[in-house]
Structure 1
Amino acid sequence: MKLSELEGKEVINMHDGVRLGMINQSELVFDEITGDLESIVIPNRENFFNVFGQEEYLIIPWEAIVKVGSEVVIVNLKSKNYKAYSS
């Protein structure tokens, strides 16, 4: 799969059906040595109006990605673990 093929896809959590964001609104993190994709970093929509103006991000490890479809990327994150991936 080409990197450009990920652009524009919605990221959906399979546990609760929540739309986490879009790939084109995110950053991709690659391993410097191998070039493998390690994670997708998506701006946390819940904290859009943070009091201090500091953005928070949801980091989705590549291992959590279940399926890349034609329009969506399905991830396997349990709701209670969202904060474990935020920075």
Structure 2
Amino acid sequence: MQFTTSFTESALAVLLAILSLALSCWLARYPRKTSVGVTLGVVLGVFLTNLAAGMVVFLGNVIPFGQIDFWLADSLTEILR
């Protein structure tokens, strides 16, 4: 079994993971009790991270990430010449 992923797909996954963790940390600050905030942050963080991973997988089936990587590499080659 071979696993291949493109740079664009990896970058999108990392970006969405960082955004979901930032949102869960931001939301966890507001409850009055610490235990409620920690629980809310963990549950929301796990949910949003799984949602972000699902979105990347779905977009990977819809958008040709490999073609986007090729276009980006071609554009960078022209810019750096």
With structure 1 as the length reference, what TM-score do the two structures score? Answer: 0.30
Would you tell me which structure has more strand in proportion to its own residues? Answer: 1
Higher RCO structure (Cα 8 Å, ≥6 apart): 2
Specify the structure having the higher radius of gyration (Cα): 2
With structure 2 as the length reference, what TM-score do the two structures score? Answer: 0.32
Would you tell me which structure has more helix in proportion to its own residues? Answer: 2
